[in-house]
Structure 1
């Protein structure tokens, strides 16, 4: 597809980093018309259109289309059955496939069908749409909920409520269980909660701050934030034996560690006199600063060698940046408002984040290769943490 790019790039040298800010890019997209021969369910119709839009490969139009996507939605027992037919008027391509999913989670039926169609036709891989999002949401003082949602927040299921339970983190790639911290007593507890049987298992307990912040790819180890002598430090925990090894030893704040590669971890520390990102090898006591701009670099996500992080600007805005630990280049991804809590998709090509502008907040989806951002409003409560 031919691209027309209108790009303004500003380059600023800041110590060891060069900030590259891609302000705008326009792309000529294929035009698609969406139709249905069944009675329209406005919620489902919007879901289909959301998925097509967020794929970033089509412009939805009412006429003069290159493609036509027709869908039929039927009730079959407790399920919705969805039949998709895609026609390409230019080369007479016709694609037809039928999908089924429980009506109670119809959002995932749309995600499943659209992502599979786009993959089958080698248009784009957006399998991240099918991932469940784990959210902790504050609803009142010392009251929170843990819920499972889809990326548009149309599907939301509360899986835990009552008291203050925070820092929910998926325990496995299959998304069948998660870890969380119970803040309802003086001694804090990390539990593992199984969604299949609704059973929880105690992992560890401690006074002061306690949170499980990352799980290794094989699911065997975890990184913890744990208070020692009134200061939070980073620990490595063997999830089978529950053995804990202290990794940082600093008279200040070390929190929120995440694995990067096989031999290192990234964490937030106030060693710069403000929250900033540092990297440290396992087995070493030396930590190296990663970011040299902004004054509050306290939320980040890791994918392979890349780090997405939010940083407070002089204006008071928070913007999200992308950096590689083996490069001096940093790419600015957002431009205004408060953009926080970035989280990579499992393929590293999409970043989810929280967008706050004025009195409104929404869940942002940032497509890195396409340089496009989409927002879905948050209607109830305040999101504390998210995991994808």
Structure 2
């Protein structure tokens, strides 16, 4: 046993840069930061709302111990407030409304009373203030020389169940502070961004006689039908160039994965197992991962598109029902309990295709539909716990989780 433990420690040191190894940053080791509000427009309620949004974003980038006190300052003062003189960094900003009623924000960052960074922002309407907050945190992260958090500026699209056979598709920021209902009136689910620009998306409509995949151009508001299928029709992933999509269809009674070419409008069947194959995800290297029942329970498999070779990817968990891939990493959902009389726990786990380590990412509730950010820095997921639905963010290399609850309804599925 001692030999095994020593080998385990040795292997852990060899793979210390592996995201499957838990990275623990003690809060006390992070530099301190205070935020000073020097706004000259808007009422106290809006000022406090923006302050809280900015503090939340600064916490999410995980670089500072952020002081939560809302303190007022004069923007042109050369020194920080006396209360903040011992802080490593002080962020001071000024909100003001211009003649066109647009929201403007000037900000500057102090390091020990020396101004080290400044920038100005503007949006036409103050109700999208959270996007300035996200941009400020993003820019500070860039200034500090940290790996990009570009995902903070991306939009989330999700389906919200609001009543039996009624749903809405909503475009939001990652904190759910901003929400815009773009599809409503029926049962519309499984939205998926159609491209990197996030100016179009797919979704499944269950209103017609057959489940139908639809495409929406956000700029023109035009909706067009793509393909229909009896039983099941879901777009589970879109290629980097947007020219290929992975579909789950049940054209032969059982769901299989199909590759659909958006240019030629033709599709090709990828899996032919007599059971259930669903939720295909592009993995790179001409390979996909997917969920299959070929072991008698849902589990994660991969398949090469050139050779057809199928490989089991996960060996932990007996009900692994959703997954996402980014480079060498796979995040998947696994059932952690089996209780017929209460709600079961479903947790997220991270594995690497190059090691045997498994890292559990969540601890309670039902955690599902994980999706990597494009750079692999973060994972977004849906959490349902005690009758509340929320969007969760996991910062892998900082070992931190953040939750942003939905005020009403239940999130059915989402994409980032």
Tell me the TM-score normalized by structure 2. 0.85
Partners of 1:214 and 1:224 within 8 A in 2: yes
1:124 CA drift (Å): 4.9
| More displaced 10-residue stretch of structure 1: 355-364 or 225-234 | 355-364
**1:331 alignment counterpart:** 359
Q: In structure 1, what is the Cα distance between the partners aligned to 2:374 and 2:199?
A: 16
**1:47 alignment counterpart:** 53
* Aligned: 1:258 with 2:281: yes
* Aligned: 1:100 with 2:122: yes
More strand by share: 1
1:215 CA drift (Å): 0.8
Larger C-alpha radius of gyration, 1 or 2? 2
**2:216 alignment counterpart:** 193
Question: Which one of the candidate residues 83, 90, 94 is aligned to 1:72?
Answer: 94
Q: In structure 1, what is the Cα distance between the partners aligned to 2:26 and 2:295?
A: 39
Task: For residues 200-228 of structure 1, give each alpha carbon's deviation from its aligned partner in whole angstroms, at most 9, with x where no partner exists.
Answer: 12211222101111111111111110102
Change (3 A) 1:23 1:111: closer
Partners of 1:21 and 1:333 within 8 A in 2: no
Q: In structure 2, what is the Cα distance between the partners aligned to 1:337 and 1:201?
A: 37
Paired residues for 1:344-355 under 5 Å: 344-355=372-383
Task: For residues 167-210 of structure 1, give each alpha carbon's deviation from its aligned partner in whole angstroms, at most 9, with x where no partner exists.
Answer: 11000101000011111011221111011110112211222101
* Aligned: 1:309 with 2:315: no
Q: In structure 2, what is the Cα distance between the partners aligned to 1:355 and 1:188?
A: 26
Q: In structure 2, what is the Cα distance between the partners aligned to 1:123 and 1:274?
A: 41
Partners of 1:22 and 1:333 within 8 A in 2: no
Total equivalences in the alignment: 371
| More displaced 10-residue stretch of structure 1: 233-242 or 284-293 | 284-293
SS in 2 for 1:53: helix
1:93 CA drift (Å): 4.1
Partners of 2:108 and 2:115 within 8 A in 1: no
The answer for unaligned runs of 5 or more in structure 2 is 1-8, 12-19, 70-83, 339-343
What's the Cα RMSD here?
2.0
Partners of 1:264 and 1:282 within 8 A in 2: yes
Partners of 2:203 and 2:215 within 8 A in 1: yes
| More displaced 10-residue stretch of structure 1: 349-358 or 364-373 | 349-358
**2:17 alignment counterpart:** none
SS in 1 for 2:255: strand
Deviation beyond 3 Å, 4+ runs, structure 1? 20-25, 283-286
Paired residues for 1:3-152 under 5 Å: 22=22, 26-27=26-27, 28-38=29-39, 40=44, 41-61=47-67, 63=84, 64-76=86-98, 77-89=100-112, 92-102=114-124, 103-152=126-175
The answer for unaligned runs of 5 or more in structure 1 is 1-8, 12-19
Q: In structure 1, what is the Cα distance between the partners aligned to 2:384 and 2:21?
A: 20
SS in 2 for 1:114: helix
Tell me the TM-score normalized by structure 1. 0.90
Partners of 2:206 and 2:212 within 8 A in 1: yes
More helix by share: 2
SS in 1 for 2:133: helix
**2:80 alignment counterpart:** none
Partners of 1:247 and 1:282 within 8 A in 2: yes
SS in 2 for 1:192: strand
1:73 CA drift (Å): 0.8
Partners of 2:23 and 2:399 within 8 A in 1: no
| More displaced 10-residue stretch of structure 1: 212-221 or 316-325 | 316-325
SS in 2 for 1:252: coil
